Structure 1
Amino acid sequence: MAARLEIDALRALLEIARLGGVTRAAEHLGLSQSAVSHKIRRLEHSLDCDLLARRAGGPLLTEAGERLLVYARRMTELHDEALAELGKRPLSGVIRLGMTEDTATSDIARILGRFTRLYPGVTVRTRTGQSLNVQEWLKAGELDVATMQVFRQDVAKGDIVLFGDSLHWVKSPDLVLDPSRPVPFLSFDHKCFYRQWGFSDGQLRGHRFETVLECASAAGIQSAVRAGLGVALLNGMHITPDIEVIEGEYPSPPDIVFIARIAPKGGGGPVRALLDEIVRELRKPLPSRAA
């Protein structure tokens, strides 16, 4: 019989590449590690080549495995689009989606593009703002679902944790702070929960903060930091080599997580379908808390 590529095995390979290993992929897929390994071995047998490198400290995938990823992504997307297009109960309706800038500039745009191809009868209307604003819109019934940041300890019941990140005090290496003057602080806006935390906990060590810039864009805050305009709180994904992390001077910020949260009355079929796409693409295991 001619060799064939199984869709479920291709999904397993995609998850291994995305999550960094067979164990994590198995946890995400709800399968045993041996089941996922078996799927990969069947792929390797069909193609008569190794896909996983299986060398400690080396690359996760072989060259053939990396090449197959491109086809696997296209094949699984086409598979899902065909099911959605030819299914007996196509979804329709409008989803009001709220996002913070960090999630808007991640893979969410690609996910939304794919979702609209899968479900052409569903319209997604997006609204972007700071996390506290997005939470208010959810409570007010202005959104059906949202992706946003919260402190790790503030994850609510029902939230879907997508991935985690660390939060850091940062400045330009060229900025010299005068201890006799207030700390110049760069804030996203007056609803920035980074700022609210920093101003309250920062006082515990006798520091006085003064907001010298408000900018809703992470790129704008990055530019202001690089220019030496002040100190900011940035999550790890926005810290580049030309930005200095301040260690030991201010209280250690809590970890943050990116979550998906459904409005109390926003969990219909289209919303659930969109959440499935977001979770499948963005969800990653959280790192363990420091002891």
Structure 2
Amino acid sequence: MTTLDITALRSLIAVASLAGVRRAADALHLSQPAVSGHLRKLEDELGFEIVFRQGRSIAFTARGEDLLREAYALVAAHDAALARLGGGYDHDIVVASTEHASAPMLQAVARLLREEFPHRGIRFEFHRSARLREFVHKRTATVAIGFGDLGRGVEHVADVPLEWIGSDRAPVAAHRLVAFARPCVIRDRMLALGEDFSIERECVDMASLVNAVRSGVGVTALPSRTRLAPGLHPLQGLPALGTVPMTVVVGAEVTDRVRQGIHQELREVWAAL
């Protein structure tokens, strides 16, 4: 009987959110072979290819994208069921983060949390900021890192400039946009430039956004200092998009000393990138 391993599905979501196996491994504090093994395990179980090499990067197959959509739903249902039953991951420290947080930022947060809670595991969840607000509201994440007002206790980390990104392969008309589905502050910034700018394709995760831009569907905007996948490069000469505030919320279970340490580490790591 075919079964889907939840841990492997979490790795799949991390690879899609962070647009790469190495970045996913760094964020999850796993080795690259471990994350690659999770992907192979899913492929062996399902009998079809999920990802394929595209230069120095990877891309999702059509069936891989189908699996990814199911993975989001399956992992969410799994965690919700465990929460209702009062077991499973309740003892874990949850760090919920936007996919734009760098691996060094997540590693710094994890290090401080391990010092604070040496006998508890750390689980990473990667979501867009709209979903992160739910984690904060329901108090189901110990730390949430995203953009904008995440909710009660939010602290400012940095004002992050946005930059235009396009494909190395062929020039694309700047008014053709690739964007995340609503709600998304970066999408809103691009559309606010006027009626000449229109959404060519909507995406649900970083991997599909990267693939669409790289294949020449359109251009997009990303926070500056985002590590760009092969085949992408910054574009010059387009209207400025300003900045978006990167923010963090740290739960009440964390001591003031560690809370202040997390705030400081995030600011210092961002400044050093």
| Structure 1 residues 103 and 274, CA gap change in structure 2 (3 angstroms) | farther
Aligned twin of 1:275: 259
- For 2:237, which of 236, 239, 247 is the aligned residue? 247
Unaligned runs of 5+ in 1: 1-92
- Identity, in percent, stands at 17
In the alignment of these two chains, the number of paired residues is: 178
CA shift digits 1:226-255 (9 cap, x unpaired): 33221101111126595132424x4x3131
Unaligned runs of 5+ in 2: 1-90
Aligned twin of 2:164: 169
Structure 2 Cα separation of the partners of residues 138 and 103 of structure 1: 17
Structure 2 Cα separation of the partners of residues 274 and 162 of structure 1: 15
Aligned twin of 2:193: 202
Report the TM-score when normalising by structure 2. 0.53
Contact 1:169/1:232 (<8 A) preserved: yes
CA shift digits 1:115-165 (9 cap, x unpaired): 325531344443220011101331233334311123xxx698853222332
Rg (Cα) greater in structure: 1
Structure 2 Cα separation of the partners of residues 286 and 118 of structure 1: 22
Contact 2:172/2:219 (<8 A) preserved: no
Q: What's the offset of the Cα at 1:209?
A: 0.7
Aligned twin of 1:105: 103
- For 1:230, which of 218, 232, 237 is the aligned residue? 218
Contact 1:108/1:278 (<8 A) preserved: no
* Structural mapping, 1:133-172, within 5 Å: 133-150=131-148, 158-172=153-167
Give SS of 1:260's match.
strand
Report the TM-score when normalising by structure 1. 0.50
- For 1:212, which of 187, 201, 218 is the aligned residue? 201
* Structural mapping, 1:1-291, within 5 Å: 95-103=93-101, 105-113=103-111, 115-117=113-115, 119-150=117-148, 158-172=153-167, 174-177=170-173, 183-199=175-191, 201-203=192-194, 206-217=195-206, 220-238=208-226, 242-248=232-238, 250=239, 252-262=240-250, 266-268=251-253, 270=254, 272=256, 274-284=258-268
Contact 2:179/2:203 (<8 A) preserved: yes
Q: What's the offset of the Cα at 1:94?
A: 5.3
| Structure 1 residues 195 and 271, CA gap change in structure 2 (3 angstroms) | farther
